[in-house]
Amino acid sequence: MPQRHPVTALASLPPGSSQAFTIAGRHIAFFNVAGRIHAIDDTCPHAGAPLSQGRLEGCVVTCPWHAIRFDVTTGRRPGQSDDTLTSYPVFINGDQIEVEV
């Protein structure tokens, strides 16, 4: 059964930024897109690159190793149905980011 886990203070993830955390044994990347926080697997399925270190443009992050792109709101590759990453529900509780895993 999924549980909510505290992640970090909202102020530590300003708009346009990303950061990775290990939550419940999973490497999860958090992205702030225009004030909304999104969470997906941090590992690119192609070669294991940390997506949290990729370039974020709007709601799309580009893998830092091979330029594969993922929509951080869904975990899907734009225009593709393969290589879908898990996306996690995010909650803001006061000034704390929480994720459901």
Task: Convert the pLDDT of each residue in 47-91 to its tens digit.
Answer: 999 999 999 999 999 999 999 999 999 999 998 877 699 999 999
CA 3/CA 44 separation, integer angstroms: 24
Domain residue limits at 9: 4-100
Tokens of 48: 């294991």
User: 3-state DSSP call for residue 59?
Assistant: coil
Residue 74, CA distances (Å) to 9, 12, 59, 88, 95 in order: 23, 23, 9, 9, 24
CATH code, domain with 60: 2.102.10.10
Domains of the chain: total: 1
Tokens of 75: 């975990």
Residues listed for the chain:
101
Which pLDDT value is given to residue 26?
A: 97
Report CA torsion sign: 86, 63, 72, 76.
negative
Is the entire prediction scored with pTM above 0.85? yes
Q: Are 89 and 82 a contacting pair, CB within 8 Å? A: no
What average pLDDT does the segment 14-36 reach? 98
